Amino acid sequence: MTQPGRREELLAKLLDYSADHGLSEVSLRPLAAAVGSSPRMLLYFFGSKEGLVREVHRHARDVQLELLSEALADHPDRIDALRALWRWLRDPAHHNVIRFFFESYARSLHGGAWDGFGESSVREWLPRLRTALGDSETEATLTLAALRGLVLDLLATGDAERVDAAFEELLARL
């Protein structure tokens, strides 16, 4: 018999692990050891490694959407909302989770366990950005693409000053 909440606890640990190490190259046994479980329990909760990967992605999207909603809800002014979101995205404390996001997003282009991750992410973020920013779908799409591109650039180069300046230019154009 399993403890209530154990699946959610494992999901949180798996997301933390994934943010630091990724999921694509790890097998079930070392993954289970890293999160304080067994391969058998992971299979019990998630069915397969592919099912585990899908659930970790779903959980990661849920966490991101909650953070997005909080950032946007706390700042009714669209520019303030975007600045709050940008502060969260550029914070080095979140970079491992964001790297996991980009790894998953890129892998979703090839299908498999990651299938649909990228599309779901876009479809989940756009309505929230559109509502919070009062923009059309086209403007929300451009804003989302710009934010993701800037974060990817920041992760690739570490050039926070240049990327922050580009973000400010984005705000000025909005």
Which residue reads 């669209």 in tokens? Answer: 78
**Domain count across the chain:** 1
- Burial class (CB within 10 angstroms; exposed 0-12, middle 13-18, buried 19+) of 145: exposed
Taking phi first (over 0 means left), then psi (-120 to 50 degrees means alpha), and beta for anything else, what does residue 158 get? left
Name which of 93, 92, 107, 99 is nearest 50 in CA terms.
Answer: 107
Domain-embedded: residue 17: no
Domain-embedded: residue 40: no
Domain-embedded: residue 143: yes
Which domain does 79 fall in, by range?
A: 54-173
Res. 121: pLDDT tops 80: yes
- CA separation for the pair 68, 66 (Å, rounded): 5
- For the stretch 100-119, pLDDT in tens is 889 889 988 998 878 888 99
- CA separation for the pair 106, 103 (Å, rounded): 5
Name which of 88, 93, 112, 98 is nearest 60 in CA terms.
Answer: 98
Identify the pLDDT of residue 123: 93
Domain-embedded: residue 45: no
- CA separation for the pair 31, 33 (Å, rounded): 5
Domain-embedded: residue 127: yes
For residue 66, which amino acid is it?
A: E
Domain-embedded: residue 26: no
- For the stretch 15-68, pLDDT in tens is 888 878 877 778 899 999 999 999 999 999 999 988 898 888 888 888 878 877
Q: pTM of the full predicted structure? A: 0.79
Domain-embedded: residue 46: no
